[in-house]
């Protein structure tokens, strides 16, 4: 295993385990910093949208047109891009049956407490939410890993964006589990483990995709990664940021994320 692969796997581990940060925030913060979460989620969406539309999509197109010709390569790029979106849309249609991995929760929710007959429901909700997040994080792990393999600087930016958006997911798991069990340890464990699927997705990409990697396969995967990240940004990050929002802070974060990503791509080119 070379250093590039180890680096890419390390990035996905960092991004996935950020759910544990959300769990710690739920336990040790006295109040939710909604301004911070709104700006952070908007920033994460800005990074993902910009890098997907400006960098990843066109790298996929270049790879596919070089391998398949201008016309066929462009059509394959579009198919991969929208295929990634369709994949995430189908996944999101399935997950609500199990639990909502992006339900907005705050630290203040821990002050209310459940009634006696709600404990079992809360435990089930927390477990299903953790499972839903784990399934959802699997393709994000593939996206982060493949980006880091192709361009380490790009991988770092995506890993940071994914890690930011995993923090409120950790809160979403921790709050119901904590109230159902009364155990901070169990709540943290469920939250922590829900992020493990991210590096598992990276390992799956390394084992099953890397041995067959060609310009065509790389281009299709990268186009799909762009579609996945745009869908996540529009369907999850921005709506969540707006629910935490105060005075359009999420949009300011979005613009800042795009600007930082744009400068990074220029300076690191």
Flag whether 118 is marked binding.
Answer: no
Flag whether 165 is marked binding.
Answer: yes
Confidence (pTM): 0.72
Flag whether 166 is marked binding.
Answer: yes
Percent of the chain residues topping a pLDDT of 70: 82
d(CA 263, CA 235): 26
Flag whether 103 is marked binding.
Answer: no
Q: How many CB atoms lie within 10 A of CB 219?
A: 24
Q: For 31, which DSSP code? A: S
- Taking only the tens place, the pLDDT of each residue in 198-228 is 899 999 989 988 888 888 988 998 899 899 8
User: What average pLDDT does this structure show over 3-30?
Assistant: 83
Q: For 225, which DSSP code? A: H
| Domain ranges, ordered by start, for the chain | 3-267
- Taking only the tens place, the pLDDT of each residue in 122-141 is 666 667 777 777 877 888 88
Q: Tell me what the pLDDT averaged over the chain comes to.
A: 81
Residue entry with tokens 């300011």: 252
Structure tokens at 225: 């990664």
Q: For 56, which DSSP code? A: I
35 confidence band (pLDDT: 50, 70, 90): confident
Structure tokens at 5: 């692969």
């Amino acid at each position: 295993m070379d250093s590039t692969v180890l680096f890419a796997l390390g990035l996905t581990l960092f991004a996935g385990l950020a759910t544990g940060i959300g769990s710690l925030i739920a336990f040790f913060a006295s109040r939710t910093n909604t301004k911070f979460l709104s700006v952070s989620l908007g920033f994460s969406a800005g990074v993902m949208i910009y890098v997907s539309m400006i960098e990843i999509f066109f790298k996929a197109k270049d790879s596919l047109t070089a391998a398949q010709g201008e016309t066929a390569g462009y059509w394959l790029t579009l198919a991969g891009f929208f295929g990634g979106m369709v994949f995430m849309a189908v996944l999101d249609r399935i997950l609500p049956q199990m639990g909502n991995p992006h339900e907005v929760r705050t630290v203040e929710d821990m002050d209310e407490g459940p009634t006696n007959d709600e404990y079992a429901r809360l435990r089930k909700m927390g477990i299903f939410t953790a499972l839903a997040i784990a399934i959802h994080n699997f393709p994000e792990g593939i996206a982060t890993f493949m980006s880091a393999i192709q361009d380490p600087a790009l991988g770092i930016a995506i890993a940071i964006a994914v890690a930011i958006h995993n923090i409120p997911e950790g809160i979403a798991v921790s709050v119901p589990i904590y109230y159902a069990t009364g155990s901070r340890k169990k709540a943290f464990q469920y939250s922590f483990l829900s992020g493990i699927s991210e590096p598992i997705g990276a390992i799956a990409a390394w084992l099953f995709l890397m041995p067959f990697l060609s310009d065509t396969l790389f281009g299709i995967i990268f186009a799909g990664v762009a579609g996945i990240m745009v869908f996540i940004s529009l369907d999850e990050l921005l709506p969540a940021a707006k629910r935490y929002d105060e005075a359009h802070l999420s949009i300011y974060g979005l613009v800042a994320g795009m600007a930082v990503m744009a400068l990074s791509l220029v300076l690191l080119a």
